[in-house]
Structure 1
């Protein structure tokens, strides 16, 4: 009986450090500085969340902007394109209104999920991702003003990717 109790406690202790990643996935850290577009001062931010979702934030509503496409580049070579062609207002709502550091109220927060596209372009098993050691990874976001028919590009140049394969993992805390 004591042996079973000790064995059970060891199993419970070990389960504290084991977790399951349900499927292969990418994570992104976007360290590019805040964008400033003189023609679109109501646009606060276009960046990536840790889960690879694209986040777009506005100070006031814009009906005439379309998320056109996103290019993935290694150095100067385009390795994949995501064609979106959706009005920004039609993207998924994300979070609540908040007040930015400059005192302006951010009223529109939209997101666009990209995890499947990261897996398609960079490899479901990290094949392309593994080759990034020798090159820099960039993402270009194309947004079109439907009133002027002008497309502007937002370059995200200071990003870091991490690939995590699905399956059981062991968490080892730093002591």
Structure 2
């Protein structure tokens, strides 16, 4: 009888270990993710600017066909409908932002030489809440739409233009152990 109980306990422990390896994972920190489906940026004054968008990790990505002088990433506004709920003051030359990735050839055949990023995860946590408690984005309880406005200033002309990202979805994931349940 003891042998049978030992076999059952061993099998049970083995089953739990296999379950944990296959279906349990740990998210290290609370974080937000973003899905940006807003169309391409078309700025007539800056044809060398290819893209200004967000990566999944909430980092801002700026891509150029060639170096642009005198452009400054001024600030970013977070909005729900027409109300600004938070602002990130940056005031950095775009060329001084962090390099991201390697050069590649775009669909139009032009080589994208410069790819810059600006991390915003800490700002998302500050503005939306470390536990998504302020606006509960991505839960279906937020009333209205979430928008992000990116302000870029031309230091030569002192003109500021706004890039509106208006087709985005924000998701929140809390840190800690999670169970992956596959769909059938």
- TM-score when scaled to structure 2? 0.91
Secondary structure (helix, strand or coil) at the match of 1:130 reads coil
- Asked if 2 retains the 8 angstrom alpha-carbon contact of 1:28 and 1:49, the reply is yes
Tell me which stretches of 4 or more aligned residues in structure 1 moved more than 6 Å.
none
List aligned pairs for 1:60-75, cutoff 5 A.
Answer: 60-75=66-81
Structure 1 residue 155 corresponds to structure 2 residue 171: no
List aligned pairs for 1:137-148, cutoff 5 A.
Answer: 137-148=146-157
Aligned match of 2:116: 110
Aligned match of 1:3: 8
Please list the CA deviations of residues 146-174 of structure 1 after superposition, one character each: whole Å capped at 9, or x if unmatched: 11111110000000000111111110011
Aligned match of 1:127: 133
Q: How many residues align?
A: 175
Aligned match of 1:173: 182
Please list the CA deviations of residues 52-95 of structure 1 after superposition, one character each: whole Å capped at 9, or x if unmatched: 00000000001211100000000000000000000111111000
Q: For 2:33, which of 27, 32, 38 is the aligned residue?
A: 27
- Asked if 2 retains the 8 angstrom alpha-carbon contact of 1:28 and 1:159, the reply is yes
Could you tell me how far apart the structure 2 residues matched to 1:85 and 1:31 are?
Answer: 26
Could you tell me how far apart the structure 2 residues matched to 1:99 and 1:105 are?
Answer: 4
TM-align CA RMSD:
1.2
Please list the CA deviations of residues 79-127 of structure 1 after superposition, one character each: whole Å capped at 9, or x if unmatched: 0000000011111100000001111100000000000000000011102
Q: For 2:17, which of 9, 12, 23 is the aligned residue?
A: 12
Return the index of the structure with the highest Cα Rg: 2
Could you tell me how far apart the structure 1 residues matched to 2:45 and 2:116 are?
Answer: 20
- Structure 2 unaligned spans of 5+: 1-5
Q: For 2:107, which of 78, 101, 120 is the aligned residue?
A: 101
Post-superposition shift, 1:130?
1.3
- Structure 1 unaligned spans of 5+: none
* Structure 1, 6-15 or 116-125: larger mean CA deviation: 6-15
Secondary structure (helix, strand or coil) at the match of 2:136 reads helix
